[in-house]
């Protein structure tokens, strides 16, 4: 804050507006970032509603065929990915990073080694673009670390994510990247990917146990919050309001619950009100 300048924040039509003493407004734009793990062969109507959302309100949709791109192009997924892409939404392909094996998670071939995880990640990245072509706008890396490295002063873990980001950018120019740690991450992650998921959890956790970042991103569009089990529209509205005050440029709230809170879209009324709550700016 500049010395001698009074700052106040107000909400106007869903947009956070910051007013300084000279009344010059600065808005924080916000879009929906939806994890669209919705099977288009059984829940095509949900995809139709997502694709038909008000133009510009949905900024990101994450496609997930089978914990990744699957074994080959699927006609139903090809259709919804292309249709969503045409609306201007960035369609990201889901890629599991398995924390690079550091927690004991295994690749599909049964390995926990960093090298084998890196190889599988690169294969999945390339498969998304090979199977779905220009409909894919980038990659969503799941199961991201929330520390720079295994010990104080180490950047070993963040460097791994920086390298896979560089791999995507080099081999698929113009691609967007996002990483899901699901928790607050240290500043070392600021430039690893284009977007950082710094919260993923239940509505109760978001309202009552949220952990903020220890640093301030320059651009709110760097930050993405995912909130599930917000059972009522009032809960959703409160979560959206909190996400604005917490300066998340991307947000998604759903009433769906674990074990897979992203395999459906909220009801027609719930979704319409959620879309109405964000303001792209």
At residue 124, the pLDDT reads 98
Residue 131: pLDDT over 60: yes
For 50, phi and psi rounded to 5 degrees?
A: -65, -50
Q: What percentage of the chain carries pLDDT values higher than 70?
A: 90
Of 194, 198, 256, the closest CA to residue 60 belongs to 194
At residue 28, the pLDDT reads 79
Separation between Cα atoms, residue 244 and residue 16, nearest integer Å: 7
Separation between Cα atoms, residue 158 and residue 211, nearest integer Å: 20
At residue 273, the pLDDT reads 97
Residue 118: pLDDT over 60: yes
At residue 281, the pLDDT reads 78
Averaged pLDDT for residues 179-184:
98
Separation between Cα atoms, residue 235 and residue 189, nearest integer Å: 30
Residue 8: pLDDT over 60: no
At residue 12, the pLDDT reads 39
Q: What tokens appear for 57 in the block? A: 């309100």
At residue 143, the pLDDT reads 98
Task: Locate the DSSP E strands across 210-279.
Answer: 223-228, 250-253
Of 31, 13, 7, 92, the closest CA to residue 219 belongs to 31
Model confidence pLDDT, tens digit, residues 12-50: 344 444 433 333 334 679 999 999 999 999 999 999 999
Model confidence pLDDT, tens digit, residues 61-98: 999 999 999 999 999 999 999 999 999 999 999 999 99
At residue 172, the pLDDT reads 98
At residue 170, the pLDDT reads 98
Q: What percentage of the chain carries pLDDT values higher than 90?
A: 89
pTM score of the predicted model: 0.90
Separation between Cα atoms, residue 41 and residue 65, nearest integer Å: 11
Rama region for 69: left / alpha / beta (φ>0; ψ in -120 to 50; rest): alpha
Residue partners of 61: CB distance under 8 A and separation at least 6: 33, 34, 36, 50, 84, 89, 90, 91, 92
At residue 7, the pLDDT reads 36
Residue 181: pLDDT over 60: yes
Model confidence pLDDT, tens digit, residues 194-244: 999 999 999 999 999 999 999 999 899 999 999 999 999 999 999 999 999
Q: CB 44: neighbour CB atoms within 10 A? A: 14
Residue 264: pLDDT over 50: yes
């Amino acid at each position: 804050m500049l010395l001698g300048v009074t700052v106040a924040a107000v909400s106007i039509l869903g947009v956070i507006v910051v007013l300084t003493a000279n009344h010059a407004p600065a808005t924080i734009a916000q879009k929906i970032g939806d994890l669209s793990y919705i099977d288009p062969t059984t829940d095509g109507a949900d995809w139709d509603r997502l694709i038909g959302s008000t133009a510009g309100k949905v900024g990101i949709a994450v496609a997930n065929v089978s914990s990744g791109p699957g074994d080959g192009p699927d006609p139903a997924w090809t259709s919804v990915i292309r249709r969503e892409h045409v609306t201007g939404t960035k369609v990201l392909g889901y890629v599991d990073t398995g924390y690079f094996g550091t927690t004991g998670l295994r690749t599909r071939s049964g390995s926990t080694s960093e090298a084998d995880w890196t190889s599988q990640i690169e294969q999945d990245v390339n498969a998304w673009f090979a199977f779905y072509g220009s409909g894919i706008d980038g990659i969503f890396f799941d199961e991201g670390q929330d520390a720079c490295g295994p010990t104080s002063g180490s950047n070993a873990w963040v460097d791994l994510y920086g390298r896979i980001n560089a791999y995507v950018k080099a081999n698929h120019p113009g691609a967007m990247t996002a990483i899901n740690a699901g928790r607050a991450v240290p500043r070392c992650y600021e430039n690893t990917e284009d977007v950082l998921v710094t919260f993923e959890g239940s509505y109760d956790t978001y309202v009552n146990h949220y952990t903020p970042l220890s640093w301030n991103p320059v651009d709110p569009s760097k930050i993405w919050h995912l909130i599930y089990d917000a059972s009522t529209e009032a809960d959703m509205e409160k979560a959206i309001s909190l996400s604005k005050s917490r300066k998340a440029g991307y947000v998604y709230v759903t009433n769906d619950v674990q074990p897979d809170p992203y395999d459906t879209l909220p009801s027609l009324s719930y979704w319409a009100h959620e879309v109405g709550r964000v303001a792209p700016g």
